[in-house]
Amino acid sequence: MAPLSLPPFSSSAMDGFALQGVSGRAGTSLTVVGESLAGHPYAGTLSAGECIRITTGAPVPDGADTVIIQENCERDGKAVTLMASVETGANIRQPGHDVHKGETVCSRGRPLSPFAIGWLAACGITDVDVVERPRVAIFSTGDELAAPGEPLTDGQIYDANRFAVMALLEGLPVRVTDLGILPDDPARIEQALSDAARTHELILTSGGVSVGDADYVRDIVQRLGRIELWRLNLKPGKPLAFGTVGTSLFIGLPGNPVSTIVTCLLVAKPLILRLAGAEPSAPRYHRARLMERIEHTAGREEFQRGVIQRQETTTWVHVSGDQSSNRLATFSGADCLIRIPKTAGDLAEGSEVDVLPLYGLSDAF
Ligand code: AMP
Ligand code: MG
Angstrom distance (rounded) from CA 307 to CA 320: 6
- Pocket probe mutation, ligand 1, options 206, 211, 217, 328, max atoms within 8 Å of Cβ: 206
Regarding the beta carbon of 236 and ligand 1, being less than 6 Å apart is answered no
- Residue 340 reports pLDDT greater than 90: yes
Q: What is the mean pLDDT of residues 66-80?
A: 98
> Which residues are paired to 314 by β-bridges?
311
Region 208-225 average pLDDT = 97
- In angstroms, the first-to-last Cα distance of the chain is 21
Which neighbouring-strand residues pair with 310? 315
> CA-CA distances (angstroms) from residue 56 to 62, 126, 215?
17, 26, 66
- 111 C-alpha to ligand 2 centroid (Å): 35
Cα–Cα distance between 30 and 36 in angstroms, integer?
16
Pairing state between β 145-146 and 157-158: parallel
Question: What is the radius of gyration, based on Cα positions, of the chain?
Answer: 30
Opening angle at CA 98, ends 95 and 103, nearest 5? 95
**CB of 210 shorter than 6 A to ligand 1:** yes
Examine the pLDDT at 364 and tell me if it is beyond 90.
no
- Please choose from 150, 161, 219, 253 the residue to mutate so as to test ligand 1's pocket, defined by most ligand atoms within 8 A of CB: 161
Q: Which domains can be identified in the chain, with CATH numbers?
A: 11-93 (2.170.190.11), 135-275 (3.40.980.10), 286-357 (2.40.340.10)
Instruction: Name the closest-CA residue to atom 16, ligand 1.
Output: 255
How confident is residue 15, by pLDDT bands cut at 50, 70 and 90? very high
- Quick: pLDDT tens for 189-200: 999 999 999 999
pLDDT tens digits, residue range 159-168?
999 999 999 9
Verify whether ligand 1 is closer than 6 Å to residue 142 (CB atom): yes
* CB 208 near ligand 1, within 6 Å: yes
* Each residue's pLDDT tens digit, 16-32: 999 999 999 999 999 99
SS3 251: strand
84 alpha-carbon distance from chain centroid: 45
Does residue 330 line the site of ligand 1, with CB under 6 A?
no
How much distance in Å is there from the Cα of 274 to the middle of ligand 2?
29
Task: Pick the ligand that lies closest to the CA of residue 255.
Answer: 1
Residue nearest to atom 6 of ligand 1 (CA): 255
The ligand 1 atom at the shortest distance from the C-alpha of residue 140 is 19
Ligand nearest to the CA of 257: 1
Ligand 2 ion: nearby residues, β-carbon < 5 Å:
142, 207-208, 255
